[in-house]
Structure formats: structure tokens, C-alpha cells
A and B are shown apart, each in its own frame.
Chain A
């Protein structure tokens, strides 16, 4: 009896999934991303094949995981790696052609001593407001009226022309004045309009009721691939160099708008050749490992001890204690971190005040590192407490009784019986915790921003992790450089992966205890 229902549910789910994929695909198609549409189609067909047929039972279980792993794990890694071979970053977001267009558009200056016109946007009478050629109906400050189009400026006879008090034309024989909404719909055409004038400039609209005579001071010569800025005397020539337009006469000057291009492995070679990176790297790397290991050890030990304590059947009111202990974990982490920052303040912090100390916690290397570990212990032990409690409850009571009967004391039981069984369960979690803490950007950033900075160099902080260090490296230049940041991320990813391999080997060994 249940079979038809199960079948129906199965098909409803399949259709729903396919509909979801179709919806994503249409969105992707709208964005013009053909490759992604094809991939979405293939995924959809794959799902249909796997779930609609009776074959490939293992795949039925694996497919969702595979899809999500590709989306959320593999794709970011691939994307980061591909980004790391470009110069993508502030000032290098668009193509070279776009940089030229933008530089020329931004170089339009008002021609000195020219009048400001009051302006209305119109078409020839009877023209379709959405497609007909646009003309500008212009009023000079002296009240004389003109019509401007792409051929030039012509006087507009005053008969039949109606104007607002400020001089904007609302009606002119032979023309249809567009409403604000209609004119706005033609924004693209409007920004392209420049009514040519005798001195080489063009009358261009500002919004919908004013026009000015402007002139682009920069010109582009596609044959020579050079930009010339005529606003200076003599004119300044710019040539492409390192994805920017650089002044030929004075290479320290360039236009701020550059373009995106591939740079091969240049970002990687910069990591390995930059002198500040080389000098700072080792120290930071060692502290980074020490921080991650100590964080995991301290939080685990404290969490486990409390869990062991609360696992004792003689203790009363456990649920209250347990809820209280989970509180630090339940509070938003950034609030907790900022509160701790305040408590560590040398002059006003509660820690120095109640303990009668004068420790400059956040201003000295040792102090800052200790402060970070203490805060992380507070933040991290409830998690370890939760997982240890869970794992301890799953250790059968008879194993412990057997140990007691064999004459093992409490410590011996803990060391030889409980710990190995506990580690089987929490071992992988400890590894995950290590990887998380290895890149614990938020904590460092909120507490010390990587500081204190000893010596006269703010690129290497004494409590920096590789990740905060990479962040500063990539974003401390005049412009955030995502390409470089991606390269550093790839290196960190490789480091964490290499360090995790022995860890996973070890957890495999633990599993053989069972």
C-alpha cells in the first residue's frame, strides 16, 4: 500500500528539484552565462538518471553530497586558484576597452565662459517617444531658444513656444516634449547626445532640465594604443603598462582606472620574493601553529574535564549547570570578543583592576598572545564540553566496571579506557577545530588587529595569524588586490591541507581501537 505513496513522493521531489534547477538555469541564462546553463542542464539530467531509474543505488546516496561538495568546496577552491593568476582588485575590475571609455567620459569638462542652458528633451512631432531621435530644446540665460541635435544648434523661433518661469520649454511647435519618465527611459541615448558646437565641444544634458557645453579632454588613438590628455600644456601622453595607463613623461603618474588581465604566476613569485613577507613569514607561521594547537588543547582539556565532572551520576542539577556553561557559546562571538577586549584594557579593564595588576595585555607580545588564548578558551570550551558530553554518554558503563574490577584506579581508567574511546569520537572534531582556529581571522581582528607591532613595521604584527597577515598584505596597498589575496589563500590552503594529512592518518589509527 505504501508503495504508490512513496513513488508519488519520489516523483514530486524529483520534479521539484528539476524545477528548482530550471529556475536557476533561467536566472543564469538571463545573466548570459551559457557555460553555467549547460552545467545546470547536465546536473538536472544526472539527477533524473540517478533517481528515476532503479540502477546505481550507491549514487542515490552520494549525489546530494557530491553536488554540495562541488558547489561549496571545490568551486571556491577552483575559483580562488584561477583568481590568483590575475591582477583582479580595486582599479582592475573591468576590461581595457572599458577603462578607455570611462577615462574619456570622466574627462569631459565645461568649456570656460559658455552659457548654461535650460533644457527639455523632445522628439520631432509625432515621433515614437521610445525610439525616435532625440532633440534638445534649449533656452539661453538671455531667453533665446534653440533646438540642438546631432547636426548642431539651430535657433528656435519664439512663436508658439511655452516656457516655465525658469525658462524650461514645455511646448514648441513641431516637437513633442517628453515627460520625465519617457526621457529617463532614454537615459542611454541622452548620455550619448552631444550637440556639436563651433569650438569642438558639445552641448550635453545634466539631468533633465539643464545642459552645458562640455569637451572631453582625453582622446584615444587605437593605432598607437595611447591616450592623450589635452587639458595640460603640453598635452600628456599615456601608454599602457602593468594594466594601467601610465604617463610617458613621468611614470609615477597614471590614471586611476586600470583593467583586469592575467598575470600568470606573478602573484606567487611576489609571495616568495617580497622581503617583508620572507622575514615575517616564519615567525607568524610558528605562532599560528602554536595558537591553533594551544587553542584546541586548552579548550578540549577544559571542556573534557567539565564533561567528566558532569558525567558523574552523583552530581545534582546538571541541566542547570549545562545550560549555563553553553552560554558563552550561545552569545554572538563578536560581542564576546569585544567585551574581552574591554576587560583586557590596561587602565580601565576589569582584569587589571580586580587583580591589582598593571599588565599591558594588548600592547605587548606576550600579553596579547595570552589574551587571545584566554579569550579563545572562553569562546571554545563550551563546544568541546558539548561534544565530550555526548561522546562520554555513549561509552558503555560495563567497560568502566570491567576496568574497576581489574583493579584500575580512576586515573588509569581515564587514561587507558575512557580517553581512547573518547578520542575515536572527538578526534575528527579536534582536527576540524584545529583547521578552524588556524584561520581564526575574526578573533584576532576584533581583539588585537594582529598587533602589537614591534619595530617600525606595521605589516607584521606579533599576534598575527597567516590569514590576518595575508589580509593586511593584500589590502594595505592603495588598492585591495584580490588576485594577490587569492594567491596567499591558496598557499594557506595547501599548508593546512598538508598539516591535516598526518592528523587524519592518526584518527584512522584510533578507529582501529574499536
Chain B
């Protein structure tokens, strides 16, 4: 008993030490009197600050610019944050946030948020709705250096809210050892796949994330292959219109019929989800997989001789057009260092070397045309992903999209499982989505 008490005391002591170490590290920089940007002030930690557990980072009050990002990108961001710090005689801190979207919103609400965050463009509607991000006014000649769709994605209600650095989308990954040339149409894909299954070289035709509750992101391209198919209609100003849900237009229903047909042939199955999607492709059970750049690393590790191609086209419609996701830098509307934050985002992120450094950590096509051109010349994967997304449209960034994921995803899962016909199920989904949006 005595021994145990001692042990407990030791543990508490260590914990207390650890805590005090965390709390005591705040003034890493001399609280400089602001004497004309002395070089002394330009000392940053040089290493991104990693959080303990999944808690939100704690903002350091003595730093001139605080940036939150996820762990993957933190090193690249840190490098240029250091450069920015030295150039301007200020201190910059890069902190790793495990869930930037939620932690940023919550921390900003209580005045403890960062000045700049790195995140996806589809957070935008929610961030604007909660008054957490500030407009970022890029000059038109700088904006023209970016892919137009990437710039479009950073806008909400006609206002621009950040600077993009990468574009990502799904495409068709195929196993070159089994399929020398990628199929152009879904019929061709199914025929090739079924032949391989018959020959015993594969167990199933295609691996695509469906799951029991459906996945709207992966199901959307089947609807968008038809001209009037999709989720929301577009307003005159280019925004998606939450009052016009189009998941049950005749063209969308054609897409639903395609899902039903593929479900019937077992090409699509609700038993494939995020837990086994990659494994099916990487163990050569499926010669085709519809996925994004995030699946490449695993396929490489598994030694798969993979190729990347645009999504195939559907009979009676055109090519399947995926959603584009754009990664961007936001400036907080409650930023304590708004001037430096704007300066960093508008002057550093549009630089080619910054975009290239960020490319290295995520391998997604850069949003800056010049950077993309340089990468595409040497990296065929990036070129392939870019070309797979060339006809895509940005994922809706309006808050109403929150009402779509559940009902639309489930509708596609039910159609694939054959539980309901495409028309009746998509009609019901449209009704449900509209009702959810009306709830506000």
C-alpha cells in the first residue's frame, strides 16, 4: 500500500512537472519593446508546436502571428513562416491543430483563435455564417495567376475569403498489370473488370466507397455526368442556390438509374467503405478504384503498378465530373494581428516556391498555374489528377450543404442496394433535403 502511494505521488509529480513545463514555455521571445524590428525579435521556434492529445492549441499572446494547420502541412508552413518572420522582424508561431475546422470556430468565439488557418474551401459558408473569417482582397492580376476554379472556390456571396494553394478531386485508379489502358466509358470498365473476374485475376470489378449510409461525395459524379444533374442549381452570381435542390431532376434520376444498374451487377456495393476500399485495390482484389490522391501512398507501399485516369463516362451522358476540393489559407475576422495575417496570406501564399513546398507535403496539384506547370512536367501523377478534375466543379461551400450529405448519401446507398427505385428515392431525398434546409 505504501509503495503504491509513493508511485501515485511520483506520477502526480511528473504530471505536474509536465503541466508546468507546458504552461511556462509561453514567452519564448523577449518581450521586445518594439524597437524598430530588431533582428533579435526575429526568433521563431523553427519547429511547429504539436498539441498534447486532441485538445486545441493554446494561443501564445506574445507572438505577432499565429497560424493553425494540420500536422502534414505544418513543416512547409513553418519554413515560410520563419522566412516571413525574418523578413519583417516579427515572431510567427505555427501550431498544429488536430481538428482545425471545429477548434478554430470554438477558439475564435472566445477570443483565443489564431490569425491564420489552413483548411478546405467547403468550410467557408459555415465560417462566414459564424463571422469567423475576414475577406482577403487579392488584386486582380494576382488572382489571375491562379486556376479560375480555385479562385471561384474561395468566394462566398461574391466576396473572396482567402488564397488557394491546392486542388484535389477523385479520379479512376487502375492496376496497370491487369489493365494496360484505362477505360473511357463505364461500360468498358465493367466489361474489362468482369472479364478479369471470370479469368480469376480479380475478385470484383471496382472498389468505390459506398458504405451502408452512403457517400454523397463519391456518388455525386454519377449525377453530374448528365447535363442537368447535380445537387444545387447555380445562382446568377456563381454561388450554389440552396433554394434549388436538383437531386431529382430527370437528369439526376438518370444518374440514379446508373447507380442502380451498377449495384445490381455488384460493381458497386454498400459493403465497400472507408475501412476496406484501399485494401481491395492494394491486394489486387479489384483492378479499378475510384478514389483521390490520398490513396496513392498506400498503393505505392503495396507495390501496385497503378495508373490514374479521369472518371469514365456514362452511357447516355457525358464524363462523370467530380467535386473539386480546394485547400486554402484563411484569415480570422477576429485576428489580433490582422495586418500581418493579411500580409502573409496575400504576399506569401501566391509565391511559386511556397506553392511548390506545400505541394511536396500533400502531392495535390498546386492552385497557382505557374507552380502547377512546373510540377506537372515532372510528376505524371499530379498531371493525371489535375486532368481527372478538369471538368469538375467546386464542392458547394454554402452551409446548406450540411443538409445534403446525410439524405443524399443514404438515397444513393439505398439505390445501389436495390432497396428503392432511383426516381422515388431521389424524390424523397429532395424532399428531405429541402425540409432540412428550411429548418435553418
**A contact residues vs B (CB 8 Å cutoff):** 90-91, 93-94, 98-99, 102, 105-110, 116, 121, 129-130, 179-188, 190-191, 205-210, 212, 214, 231, 242, 244, 252-253, 256-257, 338, 341-342, 345-348, 362-363, 448-449, 451-453, 456-459, 472, 475-481
Contact = CB atoms under 8 A, between A and B. Distances in A.
B275 A362 contact: no
B212 A256 contact: no
Contacts of A476: 402-403, 406, 436, 439
Contacts of A209: 343, 347
Prevailing SS type, chain A contact patch = loop
B417 interface: yes
A27 B220 CA distance: 49
B128 A256 contact: yes
Contact of A347 (B89, B271, B414): B271
Contacts of B157: 106, 256
A17 to B, nearest CB: 16
A348 B276 contact: yes
A456 B276 contact: no
A480 to B, nearest CB: 8
Contact of B429 (A106, A181, A190, A456): A456
A362 B271 CA distance: 9
Interface stretch (B33-41, B180-188, B249-257, B382-390): B33-41
A232 to B, nearest CB: 9
Leading 7 A-B pairs by shortest Cβ distance:
A456-B428, A207-B343, A207-B342, A180-B88, A477-B439, A179-B37, A256-B129
B346 A184 contact: no
Given A209-B347, A456-B424, A479 B399 contact: yes
Interface stretch (B192-200, B315-323, B330-338): B330-338
Contacts of A130: 34
A83 B32 CA distance: 43
Contact of A210 (B34, B126, B346): B346
Contacts of A214: 137
A206 B137 contact: yes
A484 to B, nearest CB: 9
Interface size class of B (residues with CB under 8 A): 35 or more
B121 interface: no
B129 A451 contact: no
B159 A477 contact: no
A309 B158 CA distance: 71
B338 A191 contact: yes
20 contacts: A106-B128, A108-B135, A179-B36, A180-B340, A181-B64, A181-B88, A184-B64, A191-B339, A206-B137, A214-B137, A252-B243, A256-B399, A448-B212, A451-B213, A456-B424, A456-B432, A457-B428, A458-B432, A476-B406, A477-B402
Interface in B381-440: 398-403, 406-407, 410-411, 414, 417, 420, 424-425, 428-429, 432, 436-437, 439-440
A94 B140 CA distance: 33
Given A116-B139, A181-B88, A456-B425, A91 B403 contact: no
A106 B159 contact: yes
A256 B136 CA distance: 18
Contacts, number: 194
Nearest to B243: A252
A208 B339 CA distance: 6
Contact of A478 (B88, B89, B439): B439
B417 A363 contact: yes
B97 interface: no
Nearest to B84: A180
A341 B339 contact: no
A341 B275 contact: yes
Contacts of A99: 131
Contacts of A90: 126, 129-130, 399
A411 B271 CA distance: 46
B339 A183 contact: yes
Contacts of A477: 402-403, 436-437, 439-440
B411 to A, nearest CB: 7
A452 B420 CA distance: 14
Taking each of B131, B270, B343, B346, which has the highest tally of chain A beta carbons within 10 Å of its own beta carbon?
A: B131
A342 B279 CA distance: 12
A102 B342 CA distance: 18
A458 B89 contact: no
Contacts of B398: 478
A351 to B, nearest CB: 13
A234 to B, nearest CB: 15
B125 interface: yes
A94 B110 CA distance: 11
A508 to B, nearest CB: 33
Contacts of B403: 476-478
Nearest to B269: A347
Contacts of A475: 402
A94 to B, nearest CB: 6
B232 to A, nearest CB: 12
A428 to B, nearest CB: 26
Nearest to B235: A253
B242 interface: yes
A208 B90 CA distance: 13
A107 B140 CA distance: 18
B342 A206 contact: yes
Contacts of A191: 338-339
B109 interface: yes
